[in-house]
Structure 1
Amino acid sequence: MVGVTFTVTDVPGKERFEGRDEAGALVGVLTYQLTGTIVCYTHTKVEPAFEGSGAGSALARAAMDDARAKGRTVVPICPFVSGWLERHPEYEDLLARSTRKIK
């Protein structure tokens, strides 16, 4: 899976981002629920053949970049997205938090 390029597209009618490989095969999805300017990312699923290939990260990054571009507040319900965000503090400003960590 080294060198695989993924294209991620928002599919609002299905409330999900879809990741596809160079041949157009569906490699994974990240589902969401949108209410006004608040987007809740609810589930990430990567097809078994693509696990460990970076497909999940590509989905998460595209979703966060989309939220930033559209001025949305992110609620990460999905455990994968929550873990990914912990490793990518550059997206901290998008997150809905009841409390903030003091560094």
Structure 2
Amino acid sequence: MTVTVTNRIEHQPEQRTFEIYVDDVLAGHADYTQTDGVRDFDHTVVSPEFGGQGLAGQLVTAALDATRAEGFKIATSCSYVEKFVGKNTEYQDLLAA
């Protein structure tokens, strides 16, 4: 028997967060503040019971892709996002000067 797990990422602009759901259960979020065309990602968390599944990477990838599509630059107050951008050079052009 195969069990299919579905991950879904939603942007909640009113709360300034991106959320990741696993089978409709909130598993984590990436929060940001937004000023003058820059989204400062300042907190990323995945609930411990969902750890080790690569969810933070999926979440940050989706958040940065959406941010690029919406025309924003980024700042990386969150250490996870900072390390992610350092390792994934295709996102370095998003860094605000």
What TM-score results when the alignment is normalised by the length of structure 2?
Answer: 0.90
Partner secondary structure for residue 9 of structure 1: strand
Structure 1 gaps, min length 5? 98-103
Segments ≥4 residues shifted beyond 4 Å: none
User: For residue 29 of structure 2, what is the amino acid of its counterpart?
Assistant: V
More strand by share: 2
Higher mean C-alpha displacement, 24-33 vs 35-44:
35-44
Partner secondary structure for residue 14 of structure 1: coil
Partner secondary structure for residue 14 of structure 2: helix
For each residue in 1:78-101, what CA deviation from the matched residue of structure 2 results, as whole angstroms up to 9, or x when unmatched?
00111111110001111124xxxx
Q: CA deviation at 1:77?
A: 0.6
| Superposition map of 1:5-20 within 5 A | 5-20=6-21
Q: Which residue of 1 aligns with 2:37?
A: 37
Q: Which residue of 1 aligns with 2:49?
A: 49
Q: In structure 2, what is the Cα distance between the partners aligned to 1:80 and 1:52?
A: 14
For each residue in 1:27-46, what CA deviation from the matched residue of structure 2 results, as whole angstroms up to 9, or x when unmatched?
10000011131110010010
| Superposition map of 1:63-78 within 5 A | 63-78=63-78
Identity of aligned residues (%): 33
Q: How many residues align?
A: 94
Aligned Cα root-mean-square deviation (Å): 1.3
For each residue in 1:26-77, what CA deviation from the matched residue of structure 2 results, as whole angstroms up to 9, or x when unmatched?
0100000111311100100100011111110011101110111011110011
What TM-score results when the alignment is normalised by the length of structure 1?
Answer: 0.85
8 Å contact kept, 1:4–1:53: no
User: For residue 71 of structure 1, what is the amino acid of its counterpart?
Assistant: G
Partner secondary structure for residue 13 of structure 1: coil
Q: In structure 1, what is the Cα distance between the partners aligned to 2:5 and 2:95?
A: 29
